Structures are given as C-alpha cells and as structure tokens.
Structure 1
Amino acid sequence: MTVLNRETFLTNLADNLGRPRRITGVERPTWSVQPQWDVYQHLSSDELIDILEKQCQVIHTDFKRTDRASLEQVLRKVIEGYNGQSIVAANDPRNKEFGLQVLFSRLMEEGKEVHVWDSKLEKDNITFAERADVGITFSDITLAESGTVTLFNNRYNGRSISLLPKTYIAIIPKETIVQRMTQAAKQIHDANQQGNDVASCVSFITGPSNSADIEMNLIVGVHGPIQVTYIVVD
C-alpha cells in the first residue's frame, strides 16, 4: 500500500497545533503492563481452536473441524444444509491447494451455479453475489478470542462475497489462527514494514450480521448473511 502526502499532512497538522513538528527523538514507550500480549500467549494451536469453537457458540456461528482429505465432503454438506443452489467464491490460489476447484466443478455438473470472483467482470461479480445462496472465502488471519475471520480484500476477493449472500462459509486453515486482535494487527504491520503488499481493505468478520441497536435486543441477520459456518482445516 502506497502512502501519499504524509509529510504535507503532518506538517499542516503541526502548524494547526501551533508548534514545530518534531521529527527526531521520538521513541515508542515501553509499558510495564501489556495485557494485549499476555492473553492466551502460551496456548497451543489446538487450545486456541477450542477457544474459537466456544466463541462460535456465543456469536451464533456453526463450527466444523476437518482435515484436507475430508474438506470437500464437509464443505458439500454445509452447502447442502444451506440449500445452496448458487455459490460465489474468492479467486484464491488456495482453492486449488485445498481441492475446492474439484468441488466447484462437480457442483456445476450437478446443475448448481458457481461463480469465482473475476476482476474483469467488475459489477457482474456483485450482481451475482447479491442473489447467491452461499459465499465462500478463506480466512487470512483468525482471531480465537473473538471468533473473527480476517479477509484481505482485493481484486480477486471482493468484499461482497462475505457480505451479500444469504449465508457465508469461512474456511480457516489451522495455521491462520492467532490469539486475538493484537497478533493480527502485528502481522499486518510487520508485512507493511517489510515492504510486502498489504490489502488496502481488510475486513474483520465475526459471525453472521447482527444488531442490538433497537431496544438492546439482539437480532441476527439484519444486513448480511443470516447464517455462518467456520470450517477449521488441520
């Protein structure tokens, strides 16, 4: 991601504060207490998965766990459970790695519609997502504490895939699971510092859409997927 006009912005900010801009001698403080790093710090991957599973109950999300060999079977059952006749999915290189391309081909042979996000089609992608029964993406970073999947949205992975269909399935490779938001933010920051491409839009999704704005009553499925399933893949 390219940062534009940083120097001009900071200089104008200092001018409006009525003080000279400080550009040297600034050091990040070291705090004596840092709970953001301590929570769940010593837990194993399997223990974090247990926390994720329990949190899924809180956020009204179905939880599945499988391995790569059985992923196709588990994913097919979830799609069938949602009566999925139309499916939209990200154009992710992991589709081939995890066997999703084979499943998509078989579903189309059975008469179902499968649309893999195509940047050349622009708005046609969104039009399909609006009427799709199921949206499918991989999670790039998964927060065990809150039950949140992190999506790096780009031309191959549009935000509409997880926002517009009636239901949403997040495939969670085990290695993407971290403790909480602290570790996710650090991964994104480190990638940026190392000069790696970082998505200009990062989505944090925690279960199905819901709102408690009206009289503090929780209503699930207000402005997005009504049902969500997380599938953790060992």
Structure 2
Amino acid sequence: MSNDIFWNWLAFCKSKNKNPSILDFELWLNLLDLYHGGEIVDEFLKKINALDVPLIWCAGSIINGRFLGDDLFLYFRGWIVWEGFEFYKLMIENPDEIVNLEVDLSYIFNEEIVGAMLQFPHQKNSQVQWTHHWSWRDWGEFEMQSSLPNLWARFGASFKSERVSYDVEASEIDIPDLGLVGVGARVKNKFGKGVGTVQSILNAENYAVLIKYDSGLEERDTLIPFLFEIVP
C-alpha cells in the first residue's frame, strides 16, 4: 500500500469525526474488504514501529510530565499518526519543532486507533515492536534537556523524574472484560510477545503487572483486554 492511500484513508476518517471512538475506527476499517483493511493495519503498524526511537519517547515523556511506560508510549505514537502526515514527518525528523505548531498538546494519547488496529482480524506482515532496540534507562533529564531544548523550555518545569511507586502488596486483580488475574496466572499478549506468567502485581488500580514471557523477556505490562487474554 502506498503512503498516499494510507494518509488519505486517515484524512477521510478525520473528516467524519475528529475525536472518534474505537467503534468508529472499527466501522471505518470494516467498510473496506478484509485485504485492504489488513493493508491499512499493516501500514499503521509500520509507522508505529518507525516512531520507536528514544527522541520520540523523550518528547512524549516531557509533554506528559513524567516518563512514559510501554502502553502510554504506544498510545502516544498512535496519536502522532492520527495527527496526519506532516506532523508525523516532523516528529520523525525533528520532534523538538512541534512546539512551533498549532497542535493541541493537552492530551497526547490515542488509545482508540491503537485498539481498533490491534483488534482488526487481518494483520499481514507487521506487529507492534515491543522489544525496544534502545533502553529508556539511558535517557534522563539531562539527555532530554540537551536533545529537546524547545520542548523542555515549555514543559520541563513540571516534569517529575521519579519513577512510579508500585503497589506490590496485591496478589490478584479483577479486570473488567478479562477476569481475575493473580500472581502465577498465565496470560497471552495477542500481538507479539506471546505467553507468559504474572510474576507480581505492580499497580492494582492501573492493572500493571510484571510478566515473565516464555521467550525469556521479563517486563512490566498493563493488562488491557484487547491486548491480553487469560490462558487456561
């Protein structure tokens, strides 16, 4: 699929509703046949993965006022794509320049478009890139200030560098549309990470857990129903 077709489809969606729900995105995808809907999803995921770079994560973290976790970083990248080709291109080339655009930065996450794309039944070639080829541990306030001075000048004063404190006392959580999940539960990430075992509950309120995947990967994840299912 060409870039033009993808961005034209996105512009069509935006002309219908500038603040669509996940159901709106699902409707627009289902207006296409399975093959072309899959092409849209495939192209979206390629663009999401192209944004998986430290400067993009730093930009989102600065605007957000604290470091982005995996899920918020994914929704931030979804928001970037939803803003359109010119904005996406600028974020790829120089994210520090977005402060000069007339873009609403009060809410920078688009869970709806990500959810619809990940739930669409036909994903051909691409998956969300979960295992970053860089480490957030190498990027702190100093790197943010020096790499993104314009964004830091605008948002840096309210940035909180401390890590989120987790509630490690909970042994199980009841997640709507997913069920009761406790330490030792087997869960499956539907889009790339595979099956793993819940090691601990990090934040019961936000459904954050530590999962050790069968592949050997161990990391924090948020048990969102469209991303996970319980393995019997």
TM-score by length of 2: 0.24
Larger Rg: 1
Q: Which one has a larger percent strand, Structure 1 or Structure 2?
A: 1
Higher relative contact order (CA 8 A, sep 6+): 1
